[in-house]
Structures are given as C-alpha cells and as structure tokens.
Amino acid sequence: MHRHHPSISFAALAALASLAAASARAAPVPGPDRPLTDPRSVTSPTLPGAGPVAIGDLFDSHAARGAIWTRDGKWVVFSANISGRFNLWKVPAAGGAPVRLTTSDEVQTGLASSPDGRRIVFQSDRGGDEKYNLYSVSIDGGPVRRLTDNPVASDQGALISPDGRRIAYAHKLKTEPAPNLWVLDLTTGKARALTHEATANHRWAPVAWSADGARLIANRVDANNTEGAVWRITVATGQARALTPVRAGLRVSAADLSPDGRWLSLTSNERGGQDQAALYDIAGHAWRWLAPSPWSEAGGDFSPDGRTVAYEVNADGRAAIHLFDRVSGKSRPLSFPEGVDSPADHAFSPHGDRLLVAHQSATAPTDWWSVPRNGRTSLQLTHMASAGLQAAKLPTSSIVHYASADGTVISAILITPANLARDGHAPAVVVPHGGPTGQTLDSFSRLAVALASRGYVVIEPNPRGSTGYGQAFQDANIKDLGGGDLIDEVHAAKFLAATGYVDPARIGITGGSYGGFMTLMAIGKTPEVWAAAVEQYGIINWFAMLEHEDPLLQQYERGLIGDPVKDRAIYDATSPMTYIHAARAPLLVLQGENDIRVPIDQAQAVVATLKADGKTVDAHYYAREGHGFMKIENQIDAMERTVAWFDRYLKGEGR
C-alpha cells in the first residue's frame, strides 16, 4: 500500500525567501515572450490499452548518433548501439538494410569520409575515459587502422583534406587546459601542431579546409562558450588570422565555408545576445542575417553549389531545419512532425540534391532520413524503434510555461500519463538537465517514457542558466548555482501540484551531471519538497572537484563559480555538501568508475555522508563507464534501479 507522506503545502517556498532574496534579480530575467500555462489546462488523455512500457522495449529501440554521407554519395555511415555498443554501421544512400562496419566494446563517433568514399575516419576512447584516438576503417569493413596513439592525449573532430592526404583535428594532452589544432600526414604518419594556445581557457576546433587545402578555418572559443571568433590558419606555416571580430561578450562560431571561399556560415550572439544564424562576407567584413527570430538559431552547411544554406531554429525546445536561398533571400523549413530535427555533419549529399537529417520526438527515437532539397518525399534510412514500442500508445509531451519566484518565465517539457484522474493522487518526477549551459529539448527520453507510462507525471524544466533563451538568461545563474535555478525547479513541482493531478507529497527528482548536482542541492536546501531522489554522476563539492578534474573542465568551472581562493565562500554556498545533512528524501546514487568530469569520489562522498547520518541511501558503480552510461546492459540496469526506487518511495511498492 501507498504510505502517505505528511502533506506539503509548499511551505518550502516560504523557506526559500532568503534564497530568493540572495539570488533572484530585481526584475525577472528576460527571455523570449511566452504566455504562462494555466496548470488546470493540463489534461490526461484517455487512451485505452495504454500501460507500462517494458524497459526492454525501450532499449530494444536503439539509439543513433552521428552520421555522414560517404563522399562518393553511395552510402550513409552512422554510429548506433544496435549491437549494444555504439559501433559503426552503413546503409545504402538509396535505402536498404544496415550493415555493420566495426565491432568494439568502445563508443565510436566523430565520423569523416575520405574523398573517394572508400575509408571512414572515426574517434574512440577507452571505457568512457574521454581520451580519444583516431582510427579508420574501409567502407567494406575489415581491420581497423589506428591513426593516432597517445594514452595521455585526446584527438577529436577529424577533418580530412580535399586531397585525402591529411587530417586536421583537435589535440589535447591530459595535462593541458584546452585543445590545439594539429595536422596528421597520412602518408608519413607524422603529426604536428598548427596552434599553440597561450591562454588557459580557450580551445580550438577545425571547421573546414579551403578548396586548395592550403588553409584551415577554425573556431577559437573560451571554455564557457561565452565569447569566440573564427580564424583562418595557413597550414604550411601555422600563421593564424582572425576573420571575425574578437571582443569580450561576442560569440561567433563557424559551421562551414562556402565552396568559393568567400563566405562563412556561422552562429553569433551579435544581435541582442540571442544566437542567430548568419553569413559573413570574409573580404567585406559584413554580416547577412538569414531569418532573425526571437529563438536560438545555429548556422549550418552550404550546398555544394553554394546557393543554399541549411540552418537550425530551436523554438522553445523544438528544433527544425530551415533552408536559406542566397539568391532569393528567402527561407523555408523542412517538413517534419514536431520534435527535434538535427542536420548531419556536412548535411548535403555530394550532389547537393538531398540532406541527411536526424528526427526524433517524445514518441519516436532518433532515425536518420534522406530529405530531398526540393521538399518532395523523404526516405527513412534507419528504423530504430522496436516492434514493441507503439507510438500511438506512448505518453505525449507538451511545452508549458510557469513563473518562478521572481516572475521569471520558465519553459518546461511536460509528459502527462494517460488515463489519470484529477484527484491529486498521482506521483511525479522533476528532471533537471545537465550543463548547466544546456537545454532539455522535446526529444525522445527513455526515462520520461518509462516513468510516465507507469503513471508518473514528468516535468523537465529549462531553468535560468539554460541555453536557448538568450545570453542574459544563460548568464543568470553564474556564481549562483543551485540558487535561483533551484527555485525554478521547485516552482516546477509547484506547477505539477497545481494541475490537480499530482500529490505534492509524492514528488521525486532525478538528473545526471549538473542535473545530479541539482538533485543533491534540492534534497539538501529544500528537503520539504522531495519524497525521493535518484542522482547520477552529480557534483557534491565544487572545490574538491576542482582539484581533481580535467584542466579544461577546471576552466569551465571557474567561469561559472569564480576563483577558488577569492570566491571560496561562493564555492561553499554552491556545493551540495554544505546542505546535504538536511536531506530527508531516500537517495539512490549511480556513477561510472571512469568519469573524468565528476570523479567517482564525489559519489562516494555523498554516500558516506548520508550513511553516517543514518539516512536512506544506496549506490551502484559501473565499471568501464564514464560520464554517462554507454553500454546497453548498464543503461538498462540504471533505468530499472531508477524506476524501482521511485516505485518504492513514491508509490510505496515493494517495501
């Protein structure tokens, strides 16, 4: 039977008054205009036959990651966990059955095709340690060739030169704070550095080769992605020149170089702080904004003839691809159902007549599609959903907006179970996202489907600090982590209770990475709100983590919190360890043993502290896993443990 917790009338919100005074702004944090959602307008659909989705079916529905066209146009190569591991597969560009290219226990991503289409270059680490090396494999399969081999370095983002003889990539030693650009000569096997970054907090990433292979376009951005510029490097000498303005607060990043070398396709916050897609005339130093909107945009690829640019518009968590015609100046969206559409790297086919696009939604996992440039019939290349996953019977999503304590409007993805009675008895789970500079999109979430199909109302907020709502909104939690953004999460719980479906005494919280940090902050600073919690690889102590994490991540952390000596009080105020003794909610901790972002000792400190306090806590550690669980058996295990934990402590089952 359900054990009813003492009623919570959200006295926790009153207790947060001091938090709000310290962290909330004098006025609401600005963002795009969004009308507030009446909680009572939320409805639970009537859906005969709806019920719990088997966790096995969720993971029999495979996950797909990056994809590319081969440069001869014959194949599409993609990374997917069809075998239980993210290995490489190919499918004919005209459609057909997928064929496996590689077999490995490790995750393989970061794809690039040789000019003749005969070889694929990719990257892979070891057990989630994020020390990537580059490899290549024939399009016909067979032995894998290792291209770089440094156990204390990471090589990522391979970009093959037009003649196929060199690879540009980002190279970072374990002890270095940021990657530099390197070039590997495939004939001699020798590699050399192109850049020698002098600052501790800027990183380089290759974007495009010039048509003659003499120059390289690259992005140089700071660790927190708050400012950056596009540079051109002469490959023979390493001479670098900034092509776009360099100034504090200006963020510019290129996605592609036009075939004639005259224009950059890029993303910039030059217009009012919101990321927008633009073209940049290199010689004339002039901007051409594609289709300005209040929403976040991202520049994309040029078609091979240079006439069309594909770019992405993220409108409040739903992303669509648009095509901009440089001659007419007009833009049109590709036609897909609501959800999240993402272009592949080098999205246009070699002939320019089609685009390679990933589509997913709340009821459909990611699949790759070949989409004609003229807007006619699209071809679905992959079929990742299992036979047991019936989209028509899955919980659907909606985007809701609510006001936080200071009036700031917060967007969230809401997944409402079918067949609920509006009687205030349903359990619910709040799911904070990672980052904090990230955003929850209206995409396929196995966690949300598993919980909502079992009767949990699930809400995934995008609190202050999230991307997608402008620079002011993104910066609003700097030096205030777990302050104003935690209040935003608490008001998500308040919104759930106001729908009339949810029992405020049966609300849980779960998240990974920064979402794990937020889970720990929530149960420590606002213990009255939460009845159960599951945290995955979350930060418990920022100061301790700073001493042990990767140097690049140290720079990111400093940008969020400040100097660890000068701002020591802020580190203490933003660390869950300061508040964890007040936690009441039973807590489950899930952690990868090889995590370089949130080392395992963070999880162990949480468990040891709560056990010493006599609190309810359990933990499971996954071998050869890093920051997030990639092996399918570990993904299934983590999901089963999470659902069982909430069933026990929110529903009272299995006690």
Instruction: Look at residue 1 and tell me whether its pLDDT is greater than 70.
Output: no
Residue 463 belongs to a domain: yes
Average pLDDT (617-641) is 97
Residue 276: in which H helix or E strand, if any?
A: strand 276-281
pLDDT of residue 655: 62
pLDDT of residue 18: 45
CATH number for the domain spanning 530: value is 3.40.50.1820
Residue 461 belongs to a domain: yes
Determine phi and psi for 532, rounding to 5 degrees.
-165, 155
Percent of the chain clearing pLDDT 90 (strictly above)? 89
Instruction: Look at residue 300 and tell me whether its pLDDT is greater than 60.
Output: yes
Q: Kindly provide the b/e burial profile for residues 54-66, where b requires at least 16 CB atoms within 10 angstroms of the residue's own CB.
A: ebebbbbbbbbbb
Cβ distance 499 to 42 under 8 Å? yes
Average pLDDT (259-268) is 98
Residue 226 belongs to a domain: no
Cβ distance 598 to 538 under 8 Å? yes
CA angle 603, 609, 612 (to 5 degrees): 140
Average pLDDT (452-457) is 98
pLDDT of residue 650: 98
pLDDT digits (tens, 9 = 90+) for 410-426: 999 999 999 999 999 99
pLDDT of residue 10: 46
Average pLDDT (232-247) is 97
Instruction: Look at residue 4 and tell me whether its pLDDT is greater than 50.
Output: no
Residue 429 belongs to a domain: yes
Q: pLDDT tier at 654 (50, 70, 90 boundaries)?
A: confident
DSSP-H helix ranges across 499-599: 514-525, 542-548, 551-561, 568-573
Residue 323 belongs to a domain: no
pLDDT of residue 547: 86
Average pLDDT (8-25) is 45
Q: pLDDT tier at 377 (50, 70, 90 boundaries)?
A: confident
Cβ distance 485 to 465 under 8 Å? yes
Cis ω before 92 (30° cut-off from 0): no
The residue among 403, 421, 422, 406 whose CA lies nearest residue 492 is 403
Asked which of 333-337, 534-538, 634-638 is least confident by mean pLDDT, the reply is: 333-337
Residue 432 belongs to a domain: yes
Determine phi and psi for 122, rounding to 5 degrees.
-150, 175
User: How many Cα atoms sit within 13 Å of 589 on the Cβ side?
Assistant: 27
Rounded-to-5 percentages of helix, strand, coil across the chain: 20, 35, 45
Cβ distance 315 to 337 under 8 Å? no
Average pLDDT (310-328) is 97
Amino acid at residue number 332: R
pLDDT digits (tens, 9 = 90+) for 82-129: 999 999 999 999 999 999 999 999 999 999 999 999 999 999 999 999
Give me the number of domains the chain comprises.
Answer: 1
Distances (CA, A) of 145 to 121, 127, 137: 9, 19, 6
Instruction: Look at residue 19 and tell me whether its pLDDT is greater than 50.
Output: no
pLDDT digits (tens, 9 = 90+) for 112-122: 999 999 999 99
> Mean pLDDT score of the chain, rounded to an integer?
94
Residue 146 belongs to a domain: no
The conformation of residue 251, written as its DSSP 8-state character, comes to B
Which range marks the domain in which residue 423 is found?
11-57+389-541+596-649
Average pLDDT (596-617) is 96
- CA distance linking residue 455 with residue 418, whole number of Å: 8
The residue among 346, 457, 356, 455 whose CA lies nearest residue 412 is 457
CA atoms 270, 271, 276, 281: torsion sign: negative
Instruction: Look at residue 384 and tell me whether its pLDDT is greater than 80.
Output: yes
Residue 457: CB partners within 8 Å, gap ≥ 6?
414, 415, 416, 417, 420, 426, 427, 428, 429, 496, 499, 501, 502
Instruction: Look at residue 226 and tell me whether its pLDDT is greater than 50.
Output: yes
Residue 655 belongs to a domain: no
pLDDT digits (tens, 9 = 90+) for 173-200: 998 988 999 999 999 999 999 999 999 8
pTM of the model: 0.94
The residue among 335, 383, 376 whose CA lies nearest residue 353 is 376
